[in-house]
Amino acid sequence: MKKGPNFLNTNLVNLRPANIGDIRKIYEWRNNEVIVELSLSGSPIVWDDHKPWFEGALLSEDVLILIIENVAEQSKRTEVGELRFDRNGIL
- Quote the mean pLDDT of the chain: 87
For 36-73, write each residue's pLDDT tens digit. Answer: 999 999 999 999 999 999 999 999 999 999 999 988 87
Which pLDDT value is given to residue 27?
A: 97
- Which pLDDT band, with edges at 50, 70 and 90, does 2 fall under? very low
CB 88 within 8 A of CB 4: no
The pLDDT of residue 88 is above 60: yes
Q: Region 21-41: what's the mean pLDDT?
A: 95
Whole-angstrom Cα distance, residue 34 to residue 54? Answer: 21
